[in-house]
Amino acid sequence: MRRARKRIATFAFCVVLPATTASAQEADAVIAEASRAIGATNLTSITYSGNAAQGNFGQSRTITFGVTSTSIRNYTRTIDFATSRARITGDTIPPGARGAPPPPPGTLDQTIAADSPWVLQHQVWVTPWGFLRGAAANHATVRTQKIDGEPYRVVTWMTAQKAPSGLPYKVVGYINDSNLVERVETWIDHPVLGDEHREFFYSDYRDFGGVSAPLRMTQKQVGMETFVAAIATVRANPADLTALLTVPARPGSTPPVAPPAPSAATSEKLADGVYRITGGYVSMAVEFRDFIVVLEGGQSEARGLAVLAETKRLFPTKRIRYVVNTHPHFDHASGLAPFAADGITILADDNAKYFLGAALGTPRTLVGDALAKSKKKAKIEGVIEKQVLTDGVRTLELHHVAGLEHSDSMLIAYLPKEKILFCADFRLPSGQPDPSVETLRENVERLQLDVELVVMVHAPNPDRPITRADLFGSAKGTH
């Protein structure tokens, strides 16, 4: 029997000692002094390169500990502070899964435009040089503070860019007694984490032709280290800035197009009181005598609201008691907030219970979503191995998937009378052995689930429910 384990999210809080606030004139002086110290006074653009690693935050097997990472060779970031644009490139080596062939290398090529959302745009302004430039232009304040006995000038400024709630974003930098920017922090609106705290640490500064740059850069998200870079080369105001910021045309490539608008939630009847809800990540609504259960909240607040609306249209006289989160990866947990705002209890694998409680319980001043407006506290219950929901006529079983590499917090749902299995993130066979599908098959056989129809959160093409044979083939031990 798998024991419930309390995996508490490592949200970071800075211990603040008594601080003194200085005048606006002193803030300007502090910013100017730090800008001179790192050679940022006449800096309008920069490019730097090295090697890096990016943690798969919100997508790893364990949601709070042991974050897997993607290695990035030839990591290069180019920033034009004058236009608020940036480009980040590199050669990626994704993490491999146990029992699976090594994944092929990939390419990182990310561009940041002047009108990009803060989740991207902040990467320009949390660098040491960007932070000081932003502070100089945005009426910064400064206070003195000691942290672990070391004195810092703490500079704070607010962005002109607004969050969905209408509030500006805050950027805070910590300047040490050598006038070096040692740490920068900001908060970003996040559908799961609310006001997501990001911290950036800079150390081992070196001079590169009159501009000082840290050789080591790291990032933490809600207290977890999710990025590290070792910088080897730096160029200030590069003459080839335009070329560095331009994505080269590749043979057969087409210009990027805006993603399509989310489809409306529609539904199809699978059995009496059982509906498959489509139009995005697939959900399922199951009717009981006195309540409704929704399987999977969707990948965004908009999708969660659409699933809620469609479920209420299908069952206008019954309350939704539960929404089941298949697993806590952010693309599967980002639609939970609307359900929490409606007072609906979230059923999650016990490995994810405490993370989701902490995440959905953080301040949501920037998000401005339904949960923030409701001022309600999310109600979450953990499923340890198995939970059965029944009204004496219909039964719905929730099972933990044991031994899964993709997530240690995965639930599947099973309707024994209808012989329907509901699951997420298991792909249809494509000619290559898929360890995750084999793990699912082993669990289905271990649990002796008599499956005929499979509903997948990631719908196949064409969009439809599939049979057991579609997913598992003619594997031995089928029922």
Tens of pLDDT, residue by residue over 124-156, are: 999 999 999 999 999 999 999 999 999 999 999
257, two tokens: 């197009």
Structure tokens at 36: 């001179």
Ranges of CATH 2.50.20 domains, the chain: 20-245
Task: Give this prediction's pTM.
Answer: 0.89
pLDDT value of position 15:
41
Residue 254: per-residue pLDDT: 62
Residue 284 phi, psi (nearest 5): -140, 135
Tell me, rounded to whole angstroms, the distance of Cα 315 from its chain centroid: 32
What does the DSSP 8-state code read for residue 6? -
Q: What is the pLDDT of residues 11-49, one digit of tens each?
A: 443 444 455 555 678 999 999 999 999 999 999 999 999
Q: Do the bridges between strand 411-415 and strand 420-423 make them parallel or antiparallel, or are there none, so unpaired?
A: antiparallel
pLDDT (tens digit per residue) in 366-377: 999 999 999 999
Contact 198/219 with Cβ under 8 angstroms?
A: yes
Identify whether the C-beta of residue 344 lies closer than 8 Å to the C-beta of residue 320: yes
Please state which of the four CATH numbers 3.10.620, 3.10.590, 2.50.20, 3.90.226 is assigned to the domain occupying 20-245. Answer: 2.50.20
For residue 451, the one-letter residue type is V
CA angle 144, 145, 149 (to 5 degrees): 135
pLDDT digits (tens, 9 = 90+) for 225-263: 999 999 999 999 999 999 999 998 776 656 666 666 666
DSSP one-letter code for 445: H
| Domain limits, CATH 3.60.15.10, in the chain | 266-472
Nearest to 339 by CA among 320, 326, 352, 355: 320
Peptide bond into 429 cis (omega under 30): no
Q: Residue 33's pLDDT is what?
A: 97
Q: What architecture does CATH give domain 266-472?
A: 4-Layer Sandwich (3.60)
Residue 12: per-residue pLDDT = 41
Question: Which tens digits make up the pLDDT trace of 168-223?
Answer: 999 999 999 999 999 999 999 999 999 999 999 999 999 999 999 999 999 999 98
